[in-house]
Amino acid sequence: MGTLYLVRHGQASFGAADYDQLSELGARQSRMLGDYWHQRGQRFDAVLTGTLKRHRQTFAGIAEGLGDLPTPTEMPGLNEYDSEALIRAIHPAPLEKPRDAEMVRSHFRLLRTALQAWMRGETAPQGMPSYAEFSAGVAQALAHVRERCAGQVLIVSSGGPISTAVAQVLGTPSDTAIELNLRIRNSAVTEFVFNPKRHTLLTFNTLPHLDLPELSPLVTSA
């Protein structure tokens, strides 16, 4: 029996020209997770990541805090969907950059609708795979863990792949994956136990490294 830790990247640069870049806070969140694990003697036998910049930077932050880590295997199936392409498929007009909390909420309401349309096959966002192909990439990463890994395994990815993985393990509808996705916090940890036949959900969306009242300002979702 092994344990798989799925970590969402630290806070990226929401609203900036290049979202795929950890903010200063995102880098700090990642280092703090690594330090938390270091203090508890956590070690990993294998690491998988997506190929996005924020995945690599989050892994680097964890490694800085934790210390020695295996060289990661990069898997494109762990990459996030393109939220801008999703939204353009249902809302072609350019969106203003969010300036306040209400604009952020409006953005994520639009994203929820865009995800529903994509998952149902009602849209084909430019440059993106179908949802079936996206889901298959996540399933391939989970199969890799079951078939080729043992012990303690770390995945660094994004909210979309992680929520899809949870939905696959639980056998829930795609709409449930959306709700899970929109609730995963930056640098949050989700745990599966696994054997060669199956994964089983153990925890979801936890922040053990930020679980103190004085650290609550460091908890982010976007």
Query: What is the DSSP secondary-structure string of 124-168?
Result: --TT---HHHHHHHHHHHHHHHHHH--SEEEEEE-HHHHHHHHHH
Under a CB-based contact definition with an 8 Å cutoff, are residues 34 and 208 in contact? no
Please give the pLDDT value at position 202. Answer: 98
Taking residues 11-27, what's their average pLDDT? 83
Q: Residue 152, Cβ neighbours under 10 Å: how many?
A: 16
CA 95, 98, 104, 108 torsion-angle sign: positive
Q: Residue 100's pLDDT band (boundaries 50, 70, 90)?
A: confident
pLDDT digits (tens, 9 = 90+) for 26-61: 999 999 999 999 999 999 999 999 999 999 999 999
Q: Residue 178's pLDDT band (boundaries 50, 70, 90)?
A: very high
d(CA 171, CA 54): 29
Please give the pLDDT value at position 18. Answer: 67
Please give the pLDDT value at position 28. Answer: 97
**Domains identified in the chain and CATH numbers:** 2-79+130-218 (3.40.50.1240), 82-127 (no CATH)
Kindly tell me if the per-residue pLDDT of 8 is higher than 80.
Answer: yes
Kindly tell me if the per-residue pLDDT of 104 is higher than 80.
Answer: no
**Contacts for 189 with CB less than 8 Å, ≥ 6 apart:** 5, 6, 7, 33, 203, 205, 206, 207, 208
Please give the pLDDT value at position 57. Answer: 97
Kindly tell me if the per-residue pLDDT of 14 is higher than 80.
Answer: no
Decide which of 91 and 98 is more confident. Answer: 91
